[in-house]
C-alpha cells in the first residue's frame, strides 16, 4: 500500500481527518488499518488555540483514538523551539493554548506592560485589545525577538465564515514596527521538522488538503505529499496552482491502496 512506501505519516487535521465536527468518510477505518500495519503517525496543525489533549479528545470522539503525544500544534512547536534555544521571558499576544505551551516548556510569560522581554510571541488571540497590541509593538521595537505560531490570514468560523487569523495580528505588528516575524507554522519549516522529529522517521509523507500550506511547505523540504480533495482545495485549484503534490486522491483512503501513481517527482 501507498503508506508502506514511507516511515512516517504526517497528517493535517481539518479537511483530511474531519470537517468541523464530522469525520471524513473512511477516516476512522483508514487510521485504524494504518495503526494495525504499524505506521508511525503524527498530526500537525497550525491551530494554536487547541491543546494536544483537546485534539486527542476530538479525534477519539470521532472514532480515531490517538494519544496527545501524536499531536504537534503550532503552539507546542513554537514552545519547544524557543525552549531548545534557551527559553527566556516572553510577552504573548495569543490565547491560553500559546501561554500554556510556553509555560509548560519552561518559558516565563510576563503579563501587563513589561519594559523588556526576550521574545514577543503571537498566535490567534480572541481577547485582543489595543493595549496589548501596543505593548507587543513597543517590545518588538525595543529589540524583543518577534515569533509567530503561524501566519494564516484567516481560519474557518461558524457558517463557513472566514475569521481573521494569527496572520492578521502579525501584520498589525509588522505594519507598526517594520519587523517581520519568524513563523513556526505551515508552510514554514519548523512545524514540519517538529512533526517529523516527533514521529521519528526519515522518509515522511505529508497528507494535507491545502496546496499553499501543507503541500507547498512539505515540497519545499523535498518531502513527498498526498493532496486529498476532501477539504479546502479542489481539482480546479490544483490545475491553477504552482504547487505540485506527489499524489492526489479523493481522500485519505488512498493510503491503503497499492496502485496510487505519482503525479510528480522521480
Give the catalytic positions in this structure: 12, 14
Closest CB to Mg ion among residues 14, 152: 14
Backbone dihedral angles phi then psi of residue 34, each to the nearest 5 degrees: -65, -40
Closest CB to Mg ion among residues 14, 125: 14
For cell 480533495, the residue is 229
Binding mask 194-233 for Mg ion (x = CB under 5 A): ---------------x------------------------
Cβ atoms of 107 and 119 within 8 Å: the answer is yes
Q: How far is the CB of 15 from Mg ion (least distance, A)?
A: 4
Q: How far is the CB of 149 from Mg ion (least distance, A)?
A: 16
Q: Can you give the length of the chain in residues? A: 266
CB-based contacts of 182, cutoff 8 Å, min separation 6: 145, 146, 147, 148
Candidate ranges 7-15, 128-136, 159-167, 194-202; the one touching Mg ion (CB under 5 A): 7-15
Is residue 185 involved in binding Mg ion (CB under 5 A)?
A: no
Candidate ranges 15-23, 48-56, 77-85, 87-95; the one touching Mg ion (CB under 5 A): 15-23
Q: Which of 6, 10, 11, 14 binds Mg ion (CB under 5 A)?
A: 14
Closest CB to Mg ion among residues 78, 213: 213
Is residue 12 involved in binding Mg ion (CB under 5 A)?
A: yes
Closest CB to Mg ion among residues 95, 208: 208
Distance CA 175, CA 167 (A): 12
Is residue 251 involved in binding Mg ion (CB under 5 A)?
A: no
Binding mask 120-149 for Mg ion (x = CB under 5 A): ------------------------------
b/e burial code for range 220-259 (CB count within 10 A of at least 16 → b): eeebbbbbbbbbbbeeeebeeeebbbbbbbebbbbbbeee
CB-based contacts of 52, cutoff 8 Å, min separation 6: 68, 69, 71, 72, 73, 76
How many Cα atoms within 13 Å fall on the side-chain side of residue 150? 29
Cβ atoms of 145 and 151 within 8 Å: the answer is no
Classify residue 117 by burial, with Cβ atoms within 10 Å: 0-12, 13-18, 19+: buried
Is residue 15 involved in binding Mg ion (CB under 5 A)?
A: yes
Q: How far is the CB of 13 from Mg ion (least distance, A)?
A: 6
For Mg ion, the binding residues (CB under 5 A) are 12, 14-15, 209
Amino acid at each position: 500500500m501507498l503508506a508502506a512506501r514511507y516511515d512516517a505519516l504526517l497528517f493535517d487535521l481539518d479537511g483530511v481527518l474531519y470537517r468541523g465536527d464530522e469525520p471524513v468518510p473512511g477516516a476512522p477505518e483508514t487510521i485504524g488499518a494504518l495503526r494495525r500495519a504499524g505506521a508511525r503517525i503524527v498530526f500537525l496543525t497550525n491551530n494554536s488555540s487547541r491543546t494536544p489533549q483537546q485534539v486527542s479528545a476530538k479525534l477519539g470522539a470521532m472514532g480515531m483514538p490517538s494519544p496527545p503525544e501524536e499531536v504537534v500544534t503550532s503552539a507546542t512547536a513554537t514552545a519547544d523551539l524557543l525552549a531548545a534555544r534557551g527559553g527566556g521571558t516572553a510577552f504573548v499576544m495569543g490565547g491560553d493554548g500559546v501561554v500554556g505551551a510556553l509555560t509548560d516548556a519552561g518559558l516565563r510569560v510576563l503579563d501587563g506592560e513589561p519594559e523588556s522581554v526576550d521574545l514577543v510571541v503571537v498566535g490567534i488571540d480572541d481577547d485582543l485589545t489595543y493595549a496589548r497590541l501596543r505593548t507587543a509593538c513597543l517590545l518588538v521595537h525595543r529589540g524583543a525577538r518577534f515569533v509567530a505560531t503561524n501566519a494564516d490570514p484567516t481560519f474557518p468560523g461558524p457558517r463557513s465564515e472566514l475569521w481573521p487569523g494569527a496572520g492578521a495580528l502579525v501584520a498589525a505588528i509588522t505594519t507598526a514596527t517594520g519587523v517581520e516575524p519568524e513563523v513556526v507554522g505551515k508552510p514554514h519549516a519548523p512545524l514540519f521538522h517538529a512533526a517529523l522529529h516527533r514521529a521519528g522517521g526519515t522518509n515522511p509523507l505529508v497528507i494535507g488538503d491545502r496546496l499553499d500550506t501543507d503541500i507547498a511547505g512539505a515540497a519545499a523540504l523535498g518531502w513527498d505529499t498526498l493532496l486529498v480533495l476532501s477539504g479546502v482545495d479542489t481539482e480546479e485549484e490544483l490545475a491553477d496552482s504552482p504547487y505540485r503534490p506527489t499524489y492526489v486522491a479523493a481522500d485519505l483512503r488512498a493510503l491503503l491502496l497499492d496502485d496510487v501513481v505519482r503525479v510528480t517527482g522521480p
